[in-house]
Chains A and B, each alone.
Chain A
Amino acid sequence: EVQLLESGGAFVQPGGSLRLSCAASGFTFSKFVMSWVRQAPGKGLEWVSAVSGSGDKSYYTDSLKGRFIISRDNSKNMVYLQMNSLRAGDTALYYCAKDSVVQGVMNHWGHGTLVTVSS
């Protein structure tokens, strides 16, 4: 059974940094693209970033380029999101998601980890 477990969410002040982690199990981790998707309180879904199965390619939504960095460790079945220069607008529930064999189709999701940016 595929399982994705996010961690690392916290309350942080504007300008701070945070690293989110996602522990994956139940599938051949290195074969699948992994993404982060966020959802601000009461709002819709926003794709944040994705990383290729080998980890050599990463993709970001335009507004976050340069502040967020996605990475993965295939030896540990982990994917990470390093978030820097955090702003109030980054407050959201951050989901880790696994692509299906069709890249861009996110067929498994974690339960999310909450990031709150406030002074």
Chain B
Amino acid sequence: DIQLTQSPSALSASVGDRVTITCQASQDITNSLNWYQQKLGEAPKVLIYGSSNLETGVPSRFSGRGSGTDFTLTISSLQPEDFATYYCQQYGSLPLTFGGGTKVEMK
């Protein structure tokens, strides 16, 4: 199975900050990597698919990049509604796997 290692596991940031989360895959998954946001008590929501494609309706302050084994999610200017937990997920091979999550908290 492909392991996804997210870092950091948690971070504290302020509104307006630039935030970057990384996800490292245990083997090459080309660009088969998604990012999800999950707010407390809610289902996950896809933000980025295929490493860098913004899902319809997702604000442009979210961006993703990477290929092979190293990926990043960047929030260019953190907004109050962005405090949540973020997960990467690979679909390069079955079984699908998720990273452990990054909780973005208010500083």
Contacts and interface: CB of A to CB of B under 8 A. Distances in A.
Interface of A: 35, 37, 44-47, 50, 59-62, 95, 100, 102-107, 109-112
SS class, residues of chain B in contact with chain A: loop
A47 B98 contact: yes
B50 interface: yes
B15 interface: no
Contacts of A46: 98
Given A45-B44, A45-B87, A100-B49, A62 B101 contact: no
A59 B94 contact: yes
Query: Interface size class for chain B?
Result: 20 to 34
27 contacts: A35-B96, A44-B99, A45-B36, A45-B38, A45-B44, A45-B101, A47-B89, A47-B95, A47-B96, A59-B94, A59-B95, A60-B95, A61-B96, A62-B95, A95-B43, A102-B50, A105-B34, A105-B49, A105-B91, A106-B44, A106-B89, A107-B49, A107-B55, A109-B44, A109-B45, A110-B43, A112-B43
B66 interface: no
